[in-house]
Amino acid sequence: MTRILNRAAVLAWVLMGASMAHAALKEGDQAPDFTAQASLAGQSFNYSLKEALARGPVVVYFYPSAYTAGCNIQAHTFAVNHEKFAAAGASVIGVSLDSIQRLNQFSADPEYCAGKVAVASDADGHIARAFDLSVREASSGRKDTRGADIDHGFAERTTFVLTADGHVAATVGGLAPVANVEQALAVVQRLASVGRGPRQ
């Protein structure tokens, strides 16, 4: 009986996530180009998707907010798997509606991005909307895991694996943070195995 209930709970989770991400770009779609202020290891820089794609596949992962429970886990999981993504020829960029000041802290935090994962600021949500993701407006009184106010909106947690020519190889939504990263890594490794990895 417990096993049946657990399966039902998992199915409900998957269906809920699928319904949230139903409008996201699909496999085969051309991803929109974007530039953004980003941070790596606490240092701000100008990120260009076009420049990243010139080096190979890119994992663009949208997440609700730095310093929140699920997003902390997801960033940490990307960081500990950084070398596996790089070995498959792929780079990773996280995107949220956080300010660049918050992301400078998050990108350097040894518990989360650990100086290995770049994160970009989409303060007005236009990048998330370009990827056909829903964006919720900020609500008052929300705190992050440090107790600081969260004063920005939220994009839904969805990860896009892009081939080097900028097409969507996979859209990963509706999964728990660790499973989200694991599925993205599996897609990147499959691309590398069929010769759609880094540009020669």
Poorest-pLDDT segment among 10-14, 61-65, 125-129: 10-14
Name residue, tokens 């407006």: 137
Return phi, psi of residue 116, to 5°.
-110, -25
For the cut 90, the answer to whether the pLDDT of residue 161 exceeds it is: yes
Mean pLDDT of 36-50: 98
For the cut 70, the answer to whether the pLDDT of residue 100 exceeds it is: yes
DSSP state of 30: B
Q: Is residue 148 part of a domain?
A: yes
For the cut 70, the answer to whether the pLDDT of residue 68 exceeds it is: yes
Q: Is residue 199 part of a domain?
A: no
Range of the domain at 114: 2-193
Q: Is residue 68 part of a domain?
A: yes
Name residue, tokens 């000041």: 101
Q: Is residue 34 part of a domain?
A: yes
Grouping H, G, I as helix, E, B as strand and the rest as coil, residue 23 is coil
Digit-coded pLDDT (tens) for 121-160: 999 999 999 999 999 987 777 888 898 888 899 999 999 9
pTM here?
0.85
Domain count, the chain: 1
